[in-house]
Structure 1
Amino acid sequence: MIQTLMATVELVDTNLNIAPGSWRDQLQTIRNATSSLDLLDTIPNEARKRWQLPLITVFQRVAFSDADNGAIQDIADWCLRQALTLLQVYPEDFDLMSLIGRNWLLRAQKALAGIARTETGSSSSEGSTFGQPNATTRTLAETELRLGLADYVQARVLLLPATDYLQRAVSAADAQGVASGHLLTMAAEAFMSLGNVTSSRVNDRYYHQAMSYLRAAAEHPNHSLPRHLEQ
């Protein structure tokens, strides 16, 4: 059964690499698996973990293939539940912490996309405020008011556990000397996003942590920062 399941996982992963837009074609296959499978491990077993982690990773990839428009909720929830179960068995496993943090980060993408649309529209309608009296004060006040809108609140709620688990993942990987540029960049993105939806009175610490991770990621050979984080 495990061999059949992993063959399915490899096929899904290959199909996504060839045609990322084919994720909808994979939903029924994944739901057939998740409807009859729950990981109920209570003791460590490295042989089991070697197939469990790729399974969750690929299914989670499908669940958030169109994250800006929302998750495939049942699959996303299944992945989060399985990863949290395994983390109790492997409490120092940074791959599991990273999977969980990424799940929360991707859950926030729909709200973040909505915020981006709101801010783009707001900037276009307001036009330039350069040189206008009290323009900076007014802009800051409007920004603080927007923080109470639903998308901003939801983004903060989802990004807090994302940053928590990703920070733990980085710390655990650092302790083993294997923190990757990809993990550091993902953690930086989570903290940067949280800073962007948090009051300017308290968001400095989030930006500071994000910059620390970005500097560390930039030092990794063969790792390039995403263009939107290079600045």
Structure 2
Amino acid sequence: MSRHSGSSRHRSHQPRSSESNSEDTIEQAKAVVNQLNTVIASAPHQWETYLPSARSAMSALDHVRFFRSTQRYDEQVWILHGLQDFAFHDPDGGAIRDVAEWCQTAWLRILRNYPEDVETLTGLGHNWLQRAQATLARIQREEGTDSSSSGSGQAGNMIYDNELLTNGLDTDENSAAPPTDPRRQGPLYVEARGYLQPAVDFYTRAVTSAASLGDTPGDLLASAAESHMSLGNVTATPGDERLFAQAIRYLRQAEQTPGYSLSIYLQQYLNEYGRYVS
């Protein structure tokens, strides 16, 4: 047999072998994600032990171009949720930055194939909102805000600026806006807005897409409200007023969603401040 024919035979078998190796790689990565899910649920303090495995899985998935496929959407979303939950297991303390950024890039790759996909837009909104939490927590610590800290939902460090809400919204009862808070021009506020504006944008797109399908989940509406409230708290007047008002509208809609209940914090917020928004 000639060398040429031997090479041909080798090449003819290579695609099948390569496909098999890719499948093995994907299954191994899924096993790692299962492991991460267990760790986050039962022993989150041990996260650092599993970080090398997470990074290995990410690198392997990149190698086989897993997120470029249009045939594995369900697996892609499941893997991203697992890795993203791992990245943000302690948002107050800061995300695992490289894992969070990798997840964001992977979501964007899926978005290219499914530009109006609700799950993908929600995943991106969640990514940006969670990345903001450490900065919001730092604002609270450094400035000793008197505003209440919510432990609700996905955004555990939202600063609910109650005074701005009750005095700043453009309503018949309260037409005078408060003076601009100079702190909102500080570097921490700029950093927070840099995270939260994309969160608001992606959640807004997700709500719009879900509404076009006739099914807007309550948890999506609540998360969209949280992103608006968080951005409102680091935005100067009058931009904050519009954000707070939209948050209230989302909360009203979520409250009316069959089978869904707002968290106690968001429900209290809606009950107390909903009357200021028409």
Q: Match for 1:80: what amino acid?
A: Q
Alpha-carbon offset, residue 219 of structure 1:
1.6
In structure 1, how many angstroms separate the alpha carbons of the residues matched to 2:227 and 2:145? Answer: 24
2:200 matched residue in structure 1: 163
Q: Which moved more, 1:12-21 or 1:101-110?
A: 12-21
1:20-56 deviations in Å (ceiling 9; x for gaps): 43333331111111123224655632xx111111111
- Among candidates 26, 30, 33, match of residue 9 of structure 1: 33
Q: Offset at 1:66? A: 1.5
Q: Is the counterpart of residue 79 in structure 1 residue 116 in structure 2?
A: no
Aligned residue number for residue 207 of structure 1: 244
- 1:171-223 deviations in Å (ceiling 9; x for gaps): 11111122211111111000001111111222111111111111111122343
Match of 1:182 among 210, 214, 219: 219
Q: Does 1:44 align with 2:70?
A: yes
Asked whether the equivalents of residues 217 and 225 of structure 1 are also in contact (C-alpha less than 8 Å), the reply is: yes
Secondary structure of the equivalent of 2:121? Answer: helix
**What is the aligned residue count?**
212
Matching residue of 1:146: 183
Please tell me whether the aligned partners of residues 83 and 103 of structure 2 are also in contact (alpha carbons under 8 angstroms): yes
CA–CA distance in 1 between the matches of 2:230 and 2:212? Answer: 25
Name 1:102's counterpart in structure 2.
126
> Is the 2:67–2:110 Cα contact (8 Å) retained in structure 1?
yes
Distance 2:226 2:145 in 1: 23
For 1:198, the equivalent position in structure 2 comes to 235
Equivalent pair of 2:67/2:76 in contact (CA under 8 Å): no
Q: In the alignment, is the contact (CA less than 8 A) between 1:41 and 1:89 conserved in 2?
A: no
* TM-score normalised according to structure 1 size: 0.84
Following TM superposition, by how much is the alpha carbon of 1:70 offset from its aligned partner in structure 2, in angstroms? 1.3
Deviation at 1:64, TM superposition (A): 1.1
Structure 2 CA distance for partners of 1:41 and 1:8, relative to 1, 3 Å: closer
- Could you say what the CA RMSD is over the residues aligned between the two structures, in angstroms? 2.0
Q: Any conservation in 2 of the 1:163–1:190 contact (CA below 8 Å)?
A: yes
Q: Is the 8 A contact 2:29 2:60 kept in 1?
A: no
Instruction: State the partner residue of 1:64.
Output: 88
1:105 maps to a residue whose letter is L
Alpha-carbon shift at residue 122 of structure 1 (Å): 7.1
Q: Sequence identity, in percent?
A: 40
Does the 8 Å contact 2:225/2:247 carry over to 1?
Answer: yes
Letter of the structure 2 residue corresponding to residue 209 of structure 1: Q
Q: Which amino acid aligns with 1:77?
A: E
What is the CA–CA distance in structure 2 between the aligned matches of 1:228 and 1:119, rounded to whole Å? 22
| Equivalent position amino acid for 1:97 in 2 | L
Partner of 1:89: 113
Partner of 2:214, secondary structure, is coil
User: Residue 45 of structure 2 corresponds to which residue in structure 1?
Assistant: 21
- Please give the TM-score of this superposition, normalised by the length of structure 2: 0.70
For the pair 1:113 / 2:137, whether they are aligned, the reply is yes
Question: Structure 1: which 4+ aligned runs deviate by more than 4 Å?
Answer: 39-43
Q: Distance in 1 between matches of 2:49 and 2:206?
A: 32
